[in-house]
Structure 1
């Protein structure tokens, strides 16, 4: 089963467990929005419609949060899972948010255009390291000057021992939050597709891609938010 097939199979129920499976949900997504928002507000102040590209957008969770925080944005959602993308599009339509959807893999060329923010949440870790580095270069090139790239991501521990600790902590936390055995098993089945990398490596790849002010803005065990700006 491909990554897209695995997520299409749970499109209708995917968001129900987000707050259980991402124990730091509010801080994690809230930080991503906070980092992405300033260039979007600057575009509005300059009389432009802020353009946002959401990579691996899934059900549109991050896009919806951005649209709520910065009314007036226009969103482009990219995902290889058609059913997930359909859920996101319907939610944006219901809220009257201007958007387009693009059915594509993260390894495919990015949709044409220049963007004030390129964002992603819990998607890039499905690429191998070479794929991540290539995507980061393409994302940096797609930004307007001063635009921001933000990745809210599941990351690897810097050592095998820490990586095991990340998993132990995650498992204990989600059980505390009420995740069922079936829910955990389904999550672990999807995680078979994961190829996470460390925060340090990925921040280095963003710098190599030409971004500046690269930093990790939030981290709680395996969940991290990092990014940078195009000069």
Structure 2
């Protein structure tokens, strides 16, 4: 089963499990929105519509949070799972948010345009390290001057021992939050497609792609928010 097939299979129930499977949900997504928002607000202040590119957008969860924080943005959502994009379209259409969806893999060329923010949540870790580095270069090139790239991501521990500890803490936390054996097994089955990398490595790759002010803005065990700005 491909990554797209695995996520299409749970498109209808995906959002309902997010707050259990991402124990730091509010801080994790909230930080991503805070990092992405300034250039979007600056575009509005300059009298133009802010453009956002959401990579591996899934059901549009991060895009929805961005539109709530900065009304008036225009969204381009990219994902390889048509069922997930269909859910996203329903959410955004119901809120009358201007958007387009692009059915594509993250290894494909990005939709043409210049974006004030390129964002992603829990998607890029499905690429291998070379694929991540290549995507970071394409994302940096797609940004308008002053635009930001933000990745709210699942990351690997910097050592095998810490990586195992990340998993122990995650399993304990999601169990406390009500994930049952079936939900955990389903999550682990999807995690077979994961290829996470340490946050320090990924910040270095962003700097190598030409971004500045690169930093990790939030981290709680395996969940991290990091990014940078195009000069």
Same fold (TM over 0.5): yes
What does residue range 41-52 of structure 1 map to in structure 2 within 5 Å? 41-52=41-52
Per the alignment, residue 180 of structure 1 pairs with 180
Q: Secondary structure of the residue that 1:11 maps to in structure 2?
A: coil
Give the whole-Å Cα distance in 2 for the aligned partners of 1:203 and 1:213: 10
Deviations 1:74-118 (A, max 9, x none): 000000000000000110000010000000000000000000000
Q: Any gaps of 5 or more consecutive residues in structure 2?
A: none
Per the alignment, residue 123 of structure 2 pairs with 123
Give the whole-Å Cα distance in 1 for the aligned partners of 2:9 and 2:211: 36
Q: CA RMSD in A?
A: 0.2
Deviations 1:138-187 (A, max 9, x none): 00000000000000000000000000000000000000000010000000
Give the whole-Å Cα distance in 2 for the aligned partners of 1:43 and 1:14: 32
Q: Secondary structure of the residue that 1:53 maps to in structure 2?
A: strand
Per the alignment, residue 229 of structure 2 pairs with 229
Q: What's the offset of the Cα at 1:207? A: 0.1
Per the alignment, residue 164 of structure 1 pairs with 164
Per the alignment, residue 85 of structure 1 pairs with 85
Q: Secondary structure of the residue that 2:213 maps to in structure 1?
A: strand
Task: State how many pairs are aligned.
Answer: 231
TM-score normalised to structure 2 length: 1.00
What does residue range 78-227 of structure 1 map to in structure 2 within 5 Å? 78-227=78-227
Per the alignment, residue 66 of structure 1 pairs with 66
Deviations 1:36-77 (A, max 9, x none): 000000000000100000000000000000000000000000
List 4+ stretches of structure 1 deviating above 2 A.
none
Give the whole-Å Cα distance in 2 for the aligned partners of 1:134 and 1:89: 28
TM-score normalised to structure 1 length: 1.00
Q: Secondary structure of the residue that 2:54 maps to in structure 1?
A: strand
Give the whole-Å Cα distance in 1 for the aligned partners of 2:180 and 2:59: 22
Give the whole-Å Cα distance in 1 for the aligned partners of 2:225 and 2:50: 21
Q: Secondary structure of the residue that 2:216 maps to in structure 1?
A: strand
Q: What's the offset of the Cα at 1:34? A: 0.2
Per the alignment, residue 35 of structure 2 pairs with 35
